């Protein structure tokens, strides 16, 4: 039995990372891995500049106590490549290593603005290199991200490439007929960098030729009201629906009904919504950002929107190309169902992580 202390955001903060960690915990418990979760907590934005150092200090004290009482074999830290967050997680990493524990450092996502700092600037390069070297194992989402770390000077032998995951059985549709009218789905936090404005601008272009097409936007976010106002101004209310935030079987059923998942995002790590769409048998229209450039194949999993920022005309063109070729859309659906099951299912990915835990534990035992 391996004892793992898992560090991550509070599950109140819904998102790709918390979804991944929730699925991981569910499956690890079935695989003779004892897991304890340490949540970072929620920091209100109005406090972030004034109280952040004190809040992080309190979290560090709590972490030290848990390390002593729980005595984990492996500590699994889940940073994102956002400057404030990763500096906080580097502090966690330092505390854990000072306590003598083995660490898996799983970097969820990648931001060029941050990687650019440690690739070019002297101070940041030394700072990040030293911290990354402290981890026993680093997990990233793409080979390209691994190359960035190797170029920094991090030992390539301790860097693993993994992915996000999905419970493919829950999303698998009983049947999916590729006949009109088609359902186009977007699911993400509704903010500009996810591409909802470009998709919404593509809607009238699609409707000009295929007026029965339906567009569903799932999610909440700071731009929800603005997007609703655009729909009202353009008179698209009959074809465009905003559901707000959905989870559980309510969200799953929306995926099952969709034919095309449109995701013209500006930047990503490995978006969980893409895996959910694949598991539901959707064809994809997407930008090749983050891990999607490596993991998805144009013409096999879906159609790539190449322009950046994404171009509404190109988005509409890709959607209509699929509508006009239902057999191609159906083949993409079948490809995605297979890949979701064989490559990204909860059992497959959690097994990879469990094996990494065992490898770390063996190194510690041998030492």
| pLDDT confidence of residue 67 | 96
Q: How confident is the model at residue 363 (pLDDT cuts 50, 70, 90)?
A: low
Shared domain for 55 and 133, answered yes or no, is: yes
Count structural domains, the chain.
Answer: 2
Residues 239-287 pLDDT 10s? 999 999 998 999 999 999 999 999 999 988 889 999 999 999 999 999 9
Shared domain for 269 and 329, answered yes or no, is: yes
| pLDDT confidence of residue 16 | 83
The DSSP line for 114-181 is HHHHHHH-HHHHHHHHHHHHH-SEEEESSHHHHHHHHHHT--GGGEEE----B-HHHH--S-----SS
Q: Is residue 172 within 8 Å of 277, Cβ to Cβ?
A: no
**b (16+ CB within 10 A) / e for 71-100:** ebbbbbbbbbbeeebbebbbbbbebbbeee
| Total number of residues shown for the chain | 367
Question: What average pLDDT does the structure give for the chain?
Answer: 91
- Examine the pLDDT at 83 and tell me if it is beyond 60: yes
Shared domain for 84 and 127, answered yes or no, is: yes
- Examine the pLDDT at 224 and tell me if it is beyond 80: yes
Shared domain for 141 and 290, answered yes or no, is: no
- Examine the pLDDT at 66 and tell me if it is beyond 70: yes
**What is the token pair recorded at 309?**
């920022």
| pLDDT confidence of residue 204 | 98
Residues 9-45 pLDDT 10s? 888 877 888 899 999 998 887 777 899 999 986 555 5
| pLDDT confidence of residue 45 | 54
Shared domain for 325 and 352, answered yes or no, is: no
Shared domain for 159 and 54, answered yes or no, is: yes
> Tell me, what CATH number does 274's domain have?
3.40.50.2000
- What CA dihedral angle connects 296, 300, 301 and 306, to 10 degrees? 60
- Examine the pLDDT at 184 and tell me if it is beyond 80: yes
Q: Is residue 227 within 8 Å of 143, Cβ to Cβ?
A: no
Q: Which domain holds residue 297?
A: 168-342
Q: Is residue 107 within 8 Å of 131, Cβ to Cβ?
A: no
| pLDDT confidence of residue 282 | 98
More confident residue, 366 or 127: 127
User: Per-residue pLDDT averaged across 154-183, rounded?
Assistant: 94
């Amino acid at each position: 039995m391996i004892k793992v202390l898992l560090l991550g955001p509070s599950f109140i903060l819904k998102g790709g990372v918390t979804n991944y960690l929730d699925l991981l915990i569910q499956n690890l418990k079935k695989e003779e891995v004892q897991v304890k979760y340490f949540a970072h907590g929620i920091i209100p934005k109005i406090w972030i500049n004034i109280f952040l150092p004190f809040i992080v200090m309190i979290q560090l004290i709590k972490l030290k106590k848990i390390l002593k009482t729980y005595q984990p074999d492996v500590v699994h830290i889940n940073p994102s490549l956002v400057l404030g967050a990763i500096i906080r997680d580097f502090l966690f990493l330092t505390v854990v290593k000072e306590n003598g524990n083995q660490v898996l450092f799983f970097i969820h996502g990648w931001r060029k603005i941050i990687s650019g700092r440690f690739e070019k600037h002297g101070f940041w390069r030394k700072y990040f290199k030293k911290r990354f070297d402290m981890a026993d194992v680093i997990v990233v989402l793409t080979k390209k991200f691994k190359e960035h770390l190797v170029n920094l000077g991090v030992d390539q032998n301790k860097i693993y490439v993994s992915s996000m995951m999905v419970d493919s059985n829950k999303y698998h549709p009983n049947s999916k007929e590729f006949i009109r009218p088609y359902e186009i789905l977007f699911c993400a936090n509704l903010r500009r960098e996810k591409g909802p404005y470009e998709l919404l601008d593509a809607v009238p272009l699609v409707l000009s030729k295929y007026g029965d097409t339906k567009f569903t936007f799932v999610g909440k976010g700071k731009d929800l009201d603005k997007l609703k106002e655009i729909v009202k101004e353009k008179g698209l209310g009959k074809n465009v629906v905003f559901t707000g935030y959905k989870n559980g079987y309510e969200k799953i059923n929306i995926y099952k009904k969709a034919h095309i998942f449109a995701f013209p995002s500006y930047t990503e790590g490995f978006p969980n919504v893409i895996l959910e769409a694949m598991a539901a048998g959707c064809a994809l229209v997407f930008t090749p950002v983050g891990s999607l450039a490596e993991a998805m194949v144009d013409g096999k999993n879906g159609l790539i929107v190449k322009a950046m920022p994404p171009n509404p005309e190109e988005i509409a063109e890709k959607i209509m190309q699929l509508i006009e070729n239902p057999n191609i859309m159906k083949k993409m659906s079948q490809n995605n169902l297979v890949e979701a099951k064989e490559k990204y299912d909860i059992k497959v990915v959690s097994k990879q992580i469990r094996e990494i835990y065992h490898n770390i534990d063996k190194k510690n035992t041998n030492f």
